[in-house]
């Protein structure tokens, strides 16, 4: 009997890229969706199959999903994300995918106060209404988001933020990918929603302390108004719509909505999630640490 084939969307991104690596390492039959053939080489080197497809062209999704039993659903954040993922869900239903694992966010709801939460809430509801067996992964704030501020930390020794003393249970995207790999390759997860967090909830000052320890130079945490924080993100090269959404997200996090810590990563993968200290140490060079 052939093993179930997994289609991974978002396969060239931070979380999806780690997921395809883990699936290849485990020898799981997987296919990665890429938007163009030039994106396929690094995935093919892992020994995985690739399929060219685009959320904007439903017929390409049908072809990419043909013969797949599982779908990992992830698309880049954008105002078009709900429409794109609804298109993918429709394609999965047409071709008979048996299980969809969707990357959502903690606090997702069609009535959420922030756009990311609303977008994912709309997708989650559409997936439930589709009748497809599915699992939701609901991560908190990503540690990797701090890489957008790395230049300021390296050049000025300052971590700009908006969360003040509020703690956030940041998670490494690699741990999200590890959970996804487990859910996609083992039974018993259909109908479940897993809230995924790191092992501790940290304030801005505590994040700065860990960056100081990792880099070997003092890093201070400075809470700034929304417009100043937005200017810093824009200065890092982020597009305007994303700057607005991240400012909105930080306002929400400052209310303490993502301060809780769960044990789901350890329970599902059999190992503890990475700490922020580990993340900072691994990325010490980009934050200005000496090699």
Q: What is the 3-state secondary structure (H, E, C) of 135-177?
A: EEEEECCEHHHHHHHHHHHHHHCEEEECCCCCCECCECHHHHH
User: Residues 97, 152: one domain?
Assistant: no
pLDDT (tens digit per residue) in 151-179: 989 999 999 888 878 899 999 999 999 99
- Asked, for residue 189, whether it belongs to a domain, the answer is no
- Asked, for residue 103, whether it belongs to a domain, the answer is yes
Burial class (CB in 10 A: 0-12, 13-18, 19+), 27: exposed
From the list 102, 224, 95, 90, the residue with the least C-alpha distance to 156 is 224
Average pLDDT over residues 217-230: 91
Residue 40 sits at the vertex; the CA angle it makes with 189 and 81, to the nearest 5 degrees, is: 55
CA distance 179 to 267: 9
- Asked, for residue 151, whether it belongs to a domain, the answer is yes
Domain count, the chain: 2
User: Residues 278, 250: one domain?
Assistant: yes
User: Residues 11, 133: one domain?
Assistant: yes
Q: Which residues contact 184 (CB under 8 A, 6 or more apart)?
A: 6, 23, 28, 70, 72, 99, 101
From the list 262, 276, 76, 254, the residue with the least C-alpha distance to 172 is 276
Domain that holds residue 235: 144-168+199-259+274-282
User: Residues 134, 89: one domain?
Assistant: yes
- Asked, for residue 48, whether it belongs to a domain, the answer is yes
Buried b (16+ CB within 10 A) or exposed e, 63-78: ebbeebbbbbbbbeee
Average pLDDT over residues 123-132: 97
The two tokens of residue 125 are 């509801």
| pTM more than 0.85 | yes
Give phi and psi for 96, each to the nearest 5: 85, 35
- Asked, for residue 1, whether it belongs to a domain, the answer is no
Instruction: Supply the CATH number for residue 148's domain.
Output: 3.90.25.10
Burial class (CB in 10 A: 0-12, 13-18, 19+), 256: middle
pLDDT (tens digit per residue) in 138-151: 999 899 989 988 99
Query: 272: helix, coil or strand?
Result: coil
pLDDT cut 90: percent of the chain above it: 71
- Asked, for residue 180, whether it belongs to a domain, the answer is no
- Asked, for residue 193, whether it belongs to a domain, the answer is no
User: Residues 112, 23: one domain?
Assistant: yes
User: Residues 21, 131: one domain?
Assistant: yes
Widest distance between CA atoms in the chain: 59
- Is a pLDDT exceeding 60 seen at residue 223? yes
Instruction: Supply the CATH number for residue 115's domain.
Output: 3.40.50.720
User: Residues 152, 278: one domain?
Assistant: yes
- Asked, for residue 243, whether it belongs to a domain, the answer is yes
């Amino acid at each position: 009997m052939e093993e179930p084939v997994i289609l991974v969307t978002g396969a060239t991104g931070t979380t999806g890229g780690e997921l395809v690596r883990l699936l290849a390492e485990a020898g799981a039959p997987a296919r990665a969706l890429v938007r163009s053939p030039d994106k396929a080489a690094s995935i093919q080197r892992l020994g995985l199959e690739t399929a060219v497809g685009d959320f904007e062209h439903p017929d390409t999704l049908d072809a990419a999903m043909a013969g797949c039993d599982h779908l990992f659903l992830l698309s880049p954040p954008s105002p078009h994300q709900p429409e794109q993922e609804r298109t993918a869900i429709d394609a999965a239903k047409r071709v008979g995918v048996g299980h969809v694992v969707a990357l959502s966010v903690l606090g997702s709801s069609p009535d959420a106060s922030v756009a990311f939460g609303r977008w994912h809430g709309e997708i989650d509801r559409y997936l439930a209404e589709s009748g497809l067996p599915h699992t939701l992964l609901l991560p908190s704030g990503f540690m990797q988001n701090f890489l957008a501020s790395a230049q300021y930390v390296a050049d000025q020794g300052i971590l700009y933020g908006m969360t003040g003393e509020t703690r956030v249970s940041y998670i490494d995207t690699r741990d999200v990918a590890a959970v996804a790999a487990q859910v996609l390759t083992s039974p018993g997860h259909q109908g479940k929603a897993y809230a995924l967090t790191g092992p501790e909830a940290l304030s801005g000052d505590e994040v700065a302390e860990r960056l100081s320890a990792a880099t070997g130079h003092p890093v201070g945490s400075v809470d700034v108004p929304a417009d100043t924080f937005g200017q810093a993100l824009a200065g890092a090269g982020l597009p305007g719509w994303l700057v607005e959404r991240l400012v909105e997200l930080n306002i929400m996090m400052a209310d303490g909505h993502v301060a809780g810590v769960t044990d789901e990563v350890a329970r599902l993968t059999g190992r503890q999630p990475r700490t922020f200290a580990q993340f900072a140490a691994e990325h010490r060079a980009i934050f200005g640490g000496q090699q």
